Amino acid sequence: MKAGVHCHCSKCYSIPLRKRVRLRTPAVTLLSLPQEVLLCVLQCLSAEDLLSVRAVHSQLRDIVDNHPSVWARVSFRDTWPSPDNLWLFERAAEKGNFEAAVKLGIAYLYNEGPLLSDEGRADVCGRKASHFFSLAEGLRSPTADPFTWLFIRPPWSPTGSCCKAVVFDRLKAECDGNMEKRGPLLHCLARVLQLFEEDEKRCEAVSMLEGSSQAGCLQSSYLLWENNRKAAMSDPGRYLQCVRTLRDYAGRGCWEAQLSLAKVCSSGNPLGLEAKACSDLVSQLFNFPQQAAQGGNHNILQRGIKDTMRYILVDWLVEVTTMKDFSSLTLHVTVGCVDRYLALRSVPKVCLQLLGIACMVVCTRYISKDILTIREAVWLTDNTYKYEDLVRMMGEVVSVLEGKIRSPTLLDYGEVLLSLLPLERRTTHLFSYICELSLLYSALATPPPAKLACAVLLLTRALHHYAPVWPSQLVDYTGFFKQDLTQLSVLLFVKCFSQDAPKDYRHVSLTGVKQRFEDDIYQHISREKVMDYKDLCQILEIPEVEPQMEPPSPTGQQADIHTFLASPSSTSKRKRNDSLQADRGSRVTTPTAELSNQEETLLDDILDWSLDTSSSGYEGDQEESEGEKDGDYSMISIQLDPVSDADRRREHCRALSSDEDSFSEADGEETKLDREAFCYSSGYSSVQSVSPSSSSSSSSLVPCSLKTFTTSSAASAHSQPGFRLLVPVHRPRGHSSKQVKRKNSAAHSGGDVEREEEEEEKEEDELYSATVGFRIL
| Cα-Cα end-to-end distance for the chain | 109
Can you give the pLDDT at residue 180? 85
More confident of the two residues 113 and 86: 86
Q: What is the pLDDT of residues 232-274, one digit of tens each?
A: 888 888 889 999 999 999 999 899 999 999 999 888 888 888 8
Identify the helix (H) or strand (E) that includes residue 509: none
More confident of the two residues 295 and 245: 245
Least confident of 83-87, 123-127, 748-752: 748-752
Residue 15 pLDDT class (50, 70, 90 cuts): low
- Counted residue by residue, the chain has a size of 777
Residue 16 pLDDT class (50, 70, 90 cuts): low
Can you give the pLDDT at residue 6? 56
Can you give the pLDDT at residue 101? 95
Q: What is the pLDDT of residues 640-657, one digit of tens each?
A: 344 444 444 444 433 333
> Is the model's pLDDT at 573 over the cut of 50?
no
CA distance 738 to 186: 60
Task: For helices 199-214 and 182-193, give the axis angle rounded to 10 degrees.
Answer: 160
- State mean pLDDT over 104-127: 82
Most confident of 151-165, 381-395, 667-681, 705-719: 381-395
> Is the model's pLDDT at 776 over the cut of 70?
no
> Is the model's pLDDT at 479 over the cut of 50?
yes
Can you give the pLDDT at residue 272? 81
- State mean pLDDT over 325-350: 93
What pTM did the predictor assign? 0.71
Can you give the pLDDT at residue 213? 93
- State mean pLDDT over 352-364: 96
> Is the model's pLDDT at 536 over the cut of 70?
yes
- State mean pLDDT over 351-372: 93
Contact status, residue 261 vs residue 280, Cβ threshold 8 Å: no
CA distance 451 to 454: 5
Q: What are phi and psi of 773, to 5 degrees?
A: -95, 135
Least confident of 17-31, 37-51, 277-291, 687-701: 687-701
Q: What percent of the chain has pLDDT over 90?
A: 42
- State mean pLDDT over 456-475: 94
Residue 135 pLDDT class (50, 70, 90 cuts): very high
- State mean pLDDT over 703-720: 38
Can you give the pLDDT at residue 626? 40
Residue 460 pLDDT class (50, 70, 90 cuts): very high
Adjacent-strand bridge partners of 46: 75
Q: 3-class DSSP state for residue 525?
A: helix
Residue 155 pLDDT class (50, 70, 90 cuts): confident
Can you give the pLDDT at residue 597? 47
Q: What is the pLDDT of residues 723-768, one digit of tens each?
A: 333 333 344 444 443 333 333 333 334 444 444 555 555 444 444 3
Can you give the pLDDT at residue 554? 36
744 CB contacts (<8 Å, ≥6 apart)? Answer: 594, 596
Least confident of 112-116, 455-459, 606-610, 631-635: 631-635
More confident of the two residues 698 and 267: 267
- State mean pLDDT over 414-429: 94
Least confident of 158-172, 474-488, 746-760: 746-760
Q: What is the DSSP string of 149-171?
A: HHHHPSPPPSSS--HHHHHHHHH
Which sign does the torsion angle of CA 492, 494, 498, 501 carry?
negative
Residue 509 pLDDT class (50, 70, 90 cuts): confident
Please, where are the H alpha helices in 8-120?
35-43, 47-54, 58-66, 68-73, 86-94, 98-109
Cα-atom radius of gyration of the chain, to the nearest Å?
A: 31
Can you give the pLDDT at residue 715? 38
Instruction: Supply the DSSP symbol for 637.
Output: E
Can you give the pLDDT at residue 159? 66
Task: For helices 163-177 and 121-139, give the axis angle rounded to 10 degrees.
Answer: 50
CA distance 205 to 203: 5
> Is the model's pLDDT at 98 over the cut of 80?
yes
> Is the model's pLDDT at 418 over the cut of 90?
yes
Can you give the pLDDT at residue 14? 59
> Is the model's pLDDT at 690 over the cut of 60?
no
258 sits in the region (left: phi over 0; alpha: psi -120 to 50; else beta) called alpha
Q: 3-class DSSP state for residue 693?
A: helix
Can you give the pLDDT at residue 304? 66
Can you give the pLDDT at residue 142? 81
CA distance 143 to 658: 37
CA distance 29 to 7: 54
Q: 3-class DSSP state for residue 656?
A: strand
Can you give the pLDDT at residue 141? 83
> Is the model's pLDDT at 368 over the cut of 50?
yes
Q: What is the pLDDT of residues 55-73, one digit of tens each?
A: 888 888 998 888 889 999 9
Own/partner contacts of 720-727, CB < 8 Å, gap of 24 or more, are: 721/552, 721/553, 721/556, 721/557, 721/558, 722/550, 722/551, 722/552, 723/494, 723/546, 723/547, 723/548, 723/549, 723/550, 724/546, 725/545, 725/546, 726/494, 726/498, 726/499, 726/533, 726/546, 726/701, 727/533
Can you give the pLDDT at residue 639? 39
Contact status, residue 748 vs residue 741, Cβ threshold 8 Å: yes
Q: Answer whether the bond into residue 155 is a cis peptide, omega within 30°.
A: yes
Cα 280 to Cα 249, 261, 275, 286, distances in angstroms: 18, 12, 9, 10
- State mean pLDDT over 342-359: 93
- Closest by Cα among 340, 346, 356 to 297: 340
Helices H / strands E in the chain, number of each: 34, 2
Least confident of 13-17, 423-427, 524-528, 665-669: 665-669
CA distance 775 to 636: 7
> Is the model's pLDDT at 449 over the cut of 70?
yes
Cα 687 to Cα 190, 325, 593, 648, distances in angstroms: 36, 13, 9, 33
Contact status, residue 288 vs residue 259, Cβ threshold 8 Å: no
